[in-house]
Amino acid sequence: MWTWFHQLASPPTFYRFAESLAPWLFAAGVLLVGAGVYGGLFVAPPDYQQGDAFRIIYVHVPAAALSMSIYVAMALAAAVALIWRMKLAEVALVAAAPVGASFTALALVTGMLWGKPMWGAYWVWDVRLTLELLLLFQYLGVLGLNRAYADPRAGARASAWLALIGVVFVYINKKSVEWWNSLHQGSTLLSFEGMRNPKISGDMLWPLLVSLAGFYLFFGAVWLRRMQNEVLWRERNTRWAQERVAA
Amino acid sequence: MSRPGLTKRQKRMVAVAALVTGVSLAAALGVTAFRKNMMYFYTPSDLLSGTLPAGAALQLGGLVERGSLKHGEGLKIEFVMSDCKNAVPVRYDGVLPDLFREGQGVVATGHMEAGQVFVASTILAKHDENYMPPNVAKAVGNVDGKHSCAPFKSVTAPS
């Protein structure tokens, strides 16, 4: 197990591993997102209160879930990069930030488009919305700090500290709708009460779960591809990388 | 930090743990201290407890009590906003969001007039986290009662 781990941490081995895995993740992700969105838009019944407007959840919920999950993954990579000085963890951190920022932006935009007709406002400064906007800036901060260094390893380490500092806000963001009054509704899927007594009916739930799985797999594929690029760039002076680019 | 016997890696581990614990602690303190400021709205119970400055502009959240909605001339409406413990009459003249209806959550921006009625300048709908098709909703009946007041937490009352 450990030897396999150590081998995987070597750039050429990781590159080959990602090369074989990414297309499968990508295909499965696109397929599931397609099935989930189709099920959500055409198969699921309209909501008793919101009518067809609720269908935004088949994009908004996965985007928002990923915006927080990616940050946690990034912070874990940051801890590994800082403690074990593992190059691949630095690469994982740097590669995840722009993707996380994109999903955060998607969650914000879809939420605003839904908020105007349903709530009556595109934007309000409640804790959930404010922290989600902060999350976008956190991603951009990690990215910016990383780019501010000429040496990629120094840049990755600096942004790793920043990523670690910010992870507490993701937890507060997740819990904010339970702890305080907010305009944003509470969690439908991840609540103890919801486990016993589902808050969403089954024919609306399955497309959401399929779409969620698809978004996560799609993110996995994009993350691996970005990591491959970062590895190639960092190793551009080595023989294997030059052979890989020439091939 | 420079205790003998710790390897460099262990020191970095301590540094990472210390940073995360420190930031979490600071955040926990800040969040507890500013609890009231983190609330997006007050509830009718807060308003009637008398701890808020009289006539201050604020946001008030609660359920539109069933059977209380009255339409006046044009866009004028009156209804009673309740958090299952206390209720406040609300007056409003303006456009309502699609989700506004009796039994649903709303957040109104405005002020108390003469300690009698809350005059709102904006009304937003607050949706809950339940999703179901219309036929299921009909079969379940009105999921009214304490549960639907859960998203409206009192700021002044000890939780």
> Domain range spanning residue A193?
53-246
d(CA A223, CA A94): 10
Q: A202 in a domain, yes or no?
A: yes
Task: Report yes or no: A54 at the B interface, CB cutoff 8 Å.
Answer: yes
B40-149: CATH architecture = Beta Barrel (2.40)
* Residues of chain B positioned with their CB less than 8 A from the CB of A125: 40
Q: For residue range B43-89, list pLDDT tens digits in order.
A: 998 888 878 888 889 999 999 998 899 999 889 999 999 988 899 99
Q: For residue range B107-151, list pLDDT tens digits in order.
A: 999 999 887 899 999 999 998 888 888 887 777 665 544 457 878
pLDDT value at position B157?
A: 59
* Residues of chain A positioned with their CB less than 8 A from the CB of B133: 45-48, 201, 203-204
Q: Which of B146, B61, B143 is nearest to B105 (CA)?
A: B61
Q: For the whole model, what pTM was predicted?
A: 0.91
Q: A40 in a domain, yes or no?
A: no
Task: Report yes or no: A176 at the B interface, CB cutoff 8 Å.
Answer: yes
Reduced to 3 states (helix: H, G, I; strand: E, B; else coil), residue B69 is coil
Q: A107 in a domain, yes or no?
A: yes
Which carries the bigger pLDDT value, residue A247 or residue A203? A203
Listed by number, the residues of chain A in 120-139 with a beta carbon closer than 8 Å to a beta carbon of chain B are 120-121, 124-127
Q: For residue range A33-81, list pLDDT tens digits in order.
A: 999 999 999 999 999 888 899 999 999 999 999 999 999 999 999 999 9
Question: Residue B66: which residues within 8 A CB-CB, separation 6 or more?
Answer: B102, B103, B144
Is B23–A165 a contact, with Cβ atoms under 8 angstroms apart?
yes
Q: Which of A60, A197, A73, A194 is nearest to A132 (CA)?
A: A60
Which carries the bigger pLDDT value, residue A6 or residue A102? A102
Reduced to 3 states (helix: H, G, I; strand: E, B; else coil), residue B108 is strand
- Residue A1: pLDDT band by 50, 70, 90 thresholds? low
Q: A47 in a domain, yes or no?
A: no
pLDDT value at position B128?
A: 83
What six digits make up the tokens of A82? 């800082």
CA of B129, closest CA in chain A: separation in Å?
Answer: 5
Look at chain A and report how many structural domains it folds into.
1
Domain ranges of chain B: 8-37, 40-149
Q: What ipTM was assigned to the predicted interfaces of this complex?
A: 0.85
pLDDT value at position B146?
A: 46
- Length of chain A, please? 247
